[in-house]
Chains A and B, each alone.
Chain A
Amino acid sequence: MAEVEKSKLENQKNLGNEEVTPSTLKTIYREIIHDKWAMVSLFVALFIILFSIIGSFFINQDKLLTVDIFNSWLKPGQAGHILGTDNSGYDILGFLIVGARNSILMGVSLAILIESIGIFVGFISAYYGGIVDLIIMRIVDFFMIIPQTMAVITIVSIWKNYTPVNLVLLMAAMSWMSTTRLMRSLALSQRDRDYVLASKTSGTGNFKIIFREILPNISTFIITDFTLTLASMIGFEVTLSYLGFGLPDKVPSIGTLIGYAGDTNYMLTYPWGWLPALITLVILTVSINFFGQALRRAADARQRTA
């Protein structure tokens, strides 16, 4: 026992030493900091996220959502409305900021929830194996055949007075499978490594091995999957809101604004209603995805450039 403790201590000492193999997170940081375009995309994504979150503190939501039909479809710049107004006289810029914040918050909470489910279920499946693994994987297979968009739309349409939190849970219930599969395969690749076996031999508990030892070793993949899930979940929520089955009526989303493009009466006559929202959405998802791809390249030793 004493010797094990000693070697553990030595290992910890070595962690601070640059000569030893650097930790995965550190390598990623080194890689990404030299990737100019990844940094630009990170900056752009953070700018949109922070701007919408901080900006929405300065917007009075009750005033924003007050119908004012005398000022409907004002052109950009008229009467102090920088991006004009929409059908109900709502200020487009204010609507866009609050909508972007809501869509981003939906995406972030979905991504956190999906990663947590994926890590928990995937790890248990991989670590215990056998019948547990079999049952969990059959459940995953079953959820994979449920038509995702259809199921959410069907349930939302019969669910009276659902809240954004309900929607997050519902969307997560339909989207956790691929992350769970990924986490399972990652955990499987670690399960029989020497360090896990050594921990087991020395009597470390299962949960400690899973969350304190395996988890840090695959943290880079989790971060990468988080960014990609974030982008796709923002896309999913905006699509649902565009179709009218996303966030409830009183909660604006980017998709609500883009919805004006779906109405042929408004599409070409009032482009300022939907164009800023569409541009924001495209820039946001492209920049998050670009950063996620760069992270994935950095995490994959075979694709390393620097």
Chain B
Amino acid sequence: MWKTVLRRILLMIPQIIILSLLVFFVAKLMPGDPFSGKINPQTDPKTIEALKHQLGLYDPPLVQYGHWIQNIFKGDFGQSYTYNRPVLGLIGERAANTFWLGLLTAVLTYAVAIPLGLIAGKNEGKWPDRVIAFYNFVINSVPPFAIYLIFLILFSFILKIFPSTGTVSASAHGFVQIFFSRIYHMILPAIAMMLSGTTAIVQYLRSGIIDNTKEDYVRTARAKGVPEKVIFRKHILRNAFLPIASSLGGTITGLLSGAIVAESIFSYPGMGQLFLQSVNSRDYSVMITLTLLFGILTLLGNLLSDIIMSIVDPRIRIQ
């Protein structure tokens, strides 16, 4: 198994290098320079020129790329122009918020999708299956941002059940209160994001159960008198769960891309909202770092899928 993992990691390296090259050259196309905000109209143009030379802005692009990568390994992602502080710390704070929202969403997603998939698969063609298929279809057809928007308007503004902004209320004190206040602030975006996450899992589980029920080994088990319950639990379910295990990494990717839209609609101060704010204020160093970060996180999500797959399904291990 370790061979498989190692191979995957080796395959990732060229991808990361190309991604970072692309991100770097897009960054080069952006107007402005690292001094924006630090100099004023009275600064002598010669001083600026000297500073530019000193920072290596006139070096060949590949040399500049090398410097940029070196700085990244030192943990220096540059300075945020709007917040006037290092990018790393700024993103770190927001990343924690996105992480908690993502975790809650993922827990809710599996808690809802697995029972739905089980019910649909066991009752193929009967009314529970059809109701779940309808739910799946509707959620899949409506663009996610419209679902978020409808949730926000309905539950935060018309029914006023959930708060519409922030992560924690100012009046909360002590660990327990802050903990519940956080969850209370996250629950609406988490439910809205959960909905679009469930459809694929429900679909996989349902068809996994239906397909595996027709397999020869299930017939063999029946023929030798294994009780139905055991057949379902040990033979059908184990195989039906395989694609779900592999979708775990995809869930991470889905949560990240959902975060950009969801966080901006629910005014939740995570990385997605920070990204849109940095685009609007032309805060390029933040934009660039976040794009690179999201790309690498997607890669790690894929790697996680592969590792999980090779643990649960020995057949796909590469020799």
Contact = CB atoms under 8 A, between A and B. Distances in A.
Nearest to A237: B143
A149 B291 contact: no
Tell me which of A144, A149, A278 has the highest count of chain B C-beta atoms within 10 A of its own C-beta: A149
Interface stretch (B70-78, B84-92, B184-192, B257-265): B257-265
Interface stretch (B35-43, B108-116, B134-142, B226-234): B134-142
A150 B15 contact: no
B194 to A, nearest CB: 18
Contacts of B157: 264, 267-268
A197 interface: no
A175 interface: no
B132 interface: no
A48 to B, nearest CB: 14
Given A147-B291, A147-B294, A235 B282 contact: no
A158 B149 contact: no
A238 interface: yes
Interface residues of B, number: 42
Contacts of A123: none
A213 B147 CA distance: 43
Nearest to A159: B29
Interface stretch (A75-83, A111-119, A279-287): A279-287
Interface stretch (B95-103, B237-245, B295-303): B295-303
A226 to B, nearest CB: 16
A70 interface: no
B276 interface: yes
Interface string A13-24: 000000000000
Contacts of B153: 261, 267-268
Interface in B148-196: 149-150, 153, 157-158, 164
A127 interface: no
Interface in A229-259: 231, 234-236, 238-239, 242-245, 258
Contact of A149 (B15, B26, B261): B261
A150 B142 contact: no
A278 B152 CA distance: 14
A145 B149 contact: no
B295 A148 contact: no
A193 to B, nearest CB: 24
Contacts of B9: none
B50 interface: no
B19 interface: yes
Contact of A231 (B138, B141, B144, B260): B141
A141 B15 contact: yes
Contacts of A235: 143-146
B298 A245 contact: no
Contact of B149 (A146, A236, A261): A261
Given A268-B157, A281-B146, A286 B138 contact: yes
Contact of A154 (B18, B26, B140): B26
A33 B28 CA distance: 55
Interface in B259-305: 260-261, 264-265, 275-276, 279-280, 282, 287, 290-291, 294-295, 298-299, 302
A169 interface: no
- Chain B interface, >50% SS class: helix
A46 interface: no
A90 B26 CA distance: 37
B29 A150 contact: no
Contacts of A285: 141-143
Contacts of A242: 145
B146 A278 contact: yes
B143 A281 contact: yes
A27 B145 CA distance: 36
A146 B295 contact: yes
Contacts of A244: 280
B271 to A, nearest CB: 10
A11 interface: no
B139 to A, nearest CB: 10
Contacts of B282: 157
B209 interface: no
Interface string B30-55: 11000000000000000000000000
27 contacts: A142-B15, A144-B302, A145-B295, A147-B257, A147-B295, A149-B261, A150-B275, A150-B291, A151-B291, A153-B276, A153-B279, A154-B26, A154-B279, A238-B143, A238-B146, A242-B145, A244-B280, A258-B146, A262-B149, A262-B265, A264-B157, A278-B146, A278-B150, A285-B141, A286-B138, A286-B141, A290-B137
Interface of B: 15, 18-19, 22, 26, 29-31, 137-138, 140-146, 149-150, 153, 157-158, 164, 256-257, 260-261, 264-265, 275-276, 279-280, 282, 287, 290-291, 294-295, 298-299, 302
What are the 7 tightest A-B residue pairs by CB atom distance, in nearest-first order? A235-B143, A289-B141, A147-B294, A286-B141, A239-B145, A145-B298, A157-B279
Interface of A: 141-142, 144-151, 153-155, 157-158, 231, 234-236, 238-239, 242-245, 258, 261-262, 264, 267-268, 278, 281-282, 285-286, 288-290, 293
Given A142-B15, A235-B143, A293-B137, 19 more contacts: A142-B19, A144-B302, A145-B302, A146-B19, A149-B261, A150-B257, A153-B276, A153-B279, A157-B282, A157-B287, A231-B141, A234-B143, A239-B145, A243-B264, A262-B265, A267-B153, A285-B141, A286-B138, A289-B140
